[in-house]
Structure 1
Amino acid sequence: MTEAVFRETAADPRTQSVPLAHLSLELGHLYMEDFEAGPERLREHFAEVRIWADAARASAARLIGGRRPRISTCFLIDDYFTRFSTPAELIPLILAEAERAGLVIDYLARESGCAVADRIELAESVMHRLVESPPPGSYGSRPPVGQTGWLANGQRTAPTRSALAEIVTWQPPQETAARNHSIFMDVELWSETDRGRLWSCPFLAAVWQLARLGLLRHLGEPVLVAQSWSDPDYPSDWDRLPPLLKLSDSPAPFNAYRTCTLMPNRFLAVEDAVRLILDQVDVDSVALSQIAERSAREGIAVPEAVARRAVYVFYEDPTNSQTGQGDSA
C-alpha cells in the first residue's frame, strides 16, 4: 500500500529558469545630455561602438570553441535621474543611427526599470541581498549597509586615540582582499530625498548587470521580462513604455552567461563601483545552480564569481576628445 504524503506548496519553492544567450552585448548606456547633443553625438557613439562590437562577437565565438554564438544586443536609456524628450522621438532616432552604423538593437531598457519593474522593487530586493565583507580585525562597530547606504571593500579610515593621551592618530583604509597594497573603495548606494530614496547610478547598474545575467527572481519568477510593442508609434510618456522592450523579431535571449558593455571611459569609476557591489550580493543560489548546470551541458566555462561574468570595453568619449577634455582609455 502506497502511503500518501502531503506537503505545503510553499515548502517547495520553485525558481524558474530563463533562456540564455552566450553573450549580452550592451551597445549604449547613455544619459539625457548625450541625446541633447543631437543625432551627431549618437552617430559618433555607434560608429565607435561598431568597431568594438565586432571584436566582442569574435571573442564570444572563440570562448565557445569557434561555434556560432548566441548574442543579444541591448541599449539602456536613463529615464530615472532625468526625463528628456519622449519615446516617440528618441527610439526611432536611436534605431536609425544604430542601423546607419550596421548595428541591430534587440532590447531597449529604461533605467527606471532597474529600480521598479512591473511593480516589483528590484533595487530594494537586491539591497536586502547585500552581504558586507567584514575586514580583518573588525568588531561590528561600523553600521550595516542597510542603515548607512554605503558599501566598502574593506576597512574605512578611522582615527584612534592613544591610551595615555588625547592624541588622535590617523589609520589608513585597508582593502579586505588587497594584494601587496590596498585599493580602497566606498560606494554610495542611495540618498534620501523629499520624494523618497534615490538609488545611485552604480547600484542601478549593478541591478542591470544581474538582470542581464539572468540572476534576478521575485518569488521564483524571472523579472524584467522583455515585452513587444505592437503599436507602430511609440508613446509620448516614458511610463507607458515597458521596462524592457523587445525590438527585433527573433533575437537571442536577453539573459546570458556573460555580459559585455561598451561605453565611454567617463563611466570607468561607476563600473568599478558596480563590480564592488556585485562581489557582495548573495545571489539566488538556485538561479546560479541552473546556469552552472546548463553551461556544463553546453561545455561552456562560466566564471564562478558573478562580477567576473561582466566585462567592459571603455573607449575614449568622442565628444570630450574633440574639446581636449577626454582621458585616454
Structure 2
Amino acid sequence: MTDAVFQETTAEPRTQSVPLSHLSLELGHLYMEDFEGGPGRLRRHFERVRPWVDAVHADAAAQAGGRRPRISTCFLVDDYFTRFSTPADVVPALVEEAGRAGLVIDYLARESGCAVADKVPLAESVVARLVASPPPGSHGLRPPVSETGWLANGQRSPAPRTPQAMRRAGPWRPPQETSARRHSVFMDVELWSDDEDGRRQWSCPLLAAVWQLARLGLLRNEGEPVLTPRPGDTGRLPDDWDELPPLLQLNASATPFSAYRTCSVLPHRFLPVEHAVRVVLDQTEVDAGALRQIAERSAREGTPVPEAVADRVTYVFHAGP
C-alpha cells in the first residue's frame, strides 16, 4: 500500500517566464535639471545618443549571425528623488524629441517603480537577496549589510583602535578589492539612508540595480513577474506621477521589454553609479527559476548569455549634451 503525500501548492511556487528580446537598449535617464533645460536640452541628448544607438544595433546584428535581433528601447524618468512637471507634459516631449532624432522609445519607466511597483517592494526584496562576499582573511568583524546599508566589493581598511598604554598603534592597512587584478579598485556602496522620520530612502545605485534586473527578466515576487509593462497612450496621460503605471509601453509593436542582455547609452556622469550597480549585481542571489528559464531558452535560440548576471549588462558612455 502506498502512502499518499499531500503538499501545499504554494510550497513550491512556480516561476512564471517572461517574453524576452535579445537586447534591452536604454536611451537615457531624465532628471529635473534635464527637463528644465527645455526641448533643446532633450534634443541635444537624443542627437548625441543616436550614433551610439546605430553602433549598438550594428553590433547586435553581427552577434545574431545573420538573424534579425529583437531589440527594445527604454527610458527612465526620475520621479523618486525629485518630482517635476507632470507625465502629461514630460512623456510627449520625450517621445517628440526622440522622434526628431529618428529614435523610438518603446518603454518608459518611473524610477519610483524600482522602489515599489504595484505594492511589491522591489528594492527591499533585492536587499534581502544580497549575499555579501566575505573578503579573504576576514573574520566577521564587519556588521552585515542589512544593518549598515553599505555594500563593498572587498575588505575595508581596518578602523583605527586606541592603543593600550605603552603599546604602539597597528600600522594602517589599505582596503582591498576581493577580485582585484594586480591592483585594487575598491568601492563601498551606500544602499539607503534614513531621513529624520526614520523613513528609508533607497540610493540611486540600488534602484539602478533593480532596473537592470527588471530589464534582464530576473525579478519575481512569489514566482510572478514584476515591473511588467502596461499599454499607454501619449494622448491620454495623467497629471500625477503616482497615477502613471511604473512601466509604460509606448510602442504597441515593440519587442519584449526584458532581454537576454542590456545596453545603456548614458552620459559619463553615470559611470560611478553604474560601477556601483555591478557591485550590487555581483552579490545578489537572483531567482534560480528565472535564471534556469533564461539559460534554457537562450540555448534553444543559440544565443548564449554569460553566467554572471553583471556580465550581461553593458554600457556606452558619452560626453553628454
Structures share fold, TM-score greater than 0.5 = yes
TM interval, short-chain normalised: over 0.9
Which stretch of the first structure deviates more once superposed, 257-266 or 221-230? 221-230
| Superposition pairs of residues 249-268 of structure 1, within 5 angstroms | 249-268=252-271
Provide the C-alpha distance between the structure 1 equivalents of 2:239 and 2:294, rounded to a whole number of angstroms: 38
Aligned positions of 1:85-164 closer than 5 A = 85-159=85-159
For 1:282, the equivalent position in structure 2 comes to 285
- Distance in 2 (alpha carbons) for counterparts of 1:193 and 1:135: 31
How many angstroms does 1:5 deviate by? 4.9
1:48-67 alignment to 2 at 5 Å? 48-67=48-67
Give the Cα–Cα distance (whole angstroms) in 1 for the partners of residues 144 and 125 of structure 2: 16
Higher mean displacement: 74-83 or 5-14 = 5-14
Across the aligned residues of Structure 1 and Structure 2, the Cα RMSD in angstroms comes to 1.6
Aligned residues: 318
Runs of 4+ in 1 over 3 A off after TM superposition: 1-6, 159-164
- Offset of 1:228 from its aligned partner? 1.2
| Distance of 2:10 and 2:168 partners within structure 1 | 58
Q: Please give the secondary structure, in 1, of the residue aligned with 2:146.
A: helix
- Answering whether residue 200 of structure 2 is matched by residue 186 of structure 1, we say no
| 1:22 partner SS | strand
Unaligned runs of 5+ in 2: none
What amino acid is the match of 2:304?
A: A
**What secondary structure does 2:68 align onto?**
coil
Question: Would the aligned equivalents of 1:160 and 1:171 in 2 still touch at CA under 8 Å?
Answer: no
Distance 1:220 1:51, change over 3 A: same
- Identity, in percent, stands at 68
AA matched with 1:68: R
- The match for 2:243 among 237, 240, 244 is 240
Say if 1:160 and 1:169, in contact at 8 Å, map to a contact too. no
Q: CA deviation at 1:159?
A: 4.3
1:51-108 Cα shifts (integer Å, max 9, x gaps): 1111111111112212100010000000000011001111110000000000011100
- The 2-side partners of 1:2 and 1:73 are apart by 55
- Write the letter of the residue equivalent to 1:138: S
Aligned partners of 1:12, 1:263: CA distance in 2, in Å? 40
Does the aligned pair in 2 maintain the 1:159–1:168 contact within 8 Å? Answer: no
Amino acid at match of 2:46: F
Partner of 1:69: 69
Pick closer, same or farther for the CA change 1:167–1:288 going to 2, 3 Å. same
Aligned to 1:301: 304
Report the counterpart of residue 213 of structure 1 in structure 2.
216
Extract unaligned runs of 5+ from structure 1.
319-329
- C-alpha separation in 1, matches of 2:154 and 2:49: 35
Which moved further from structure 2: 191-200 or 39-48? 191-200
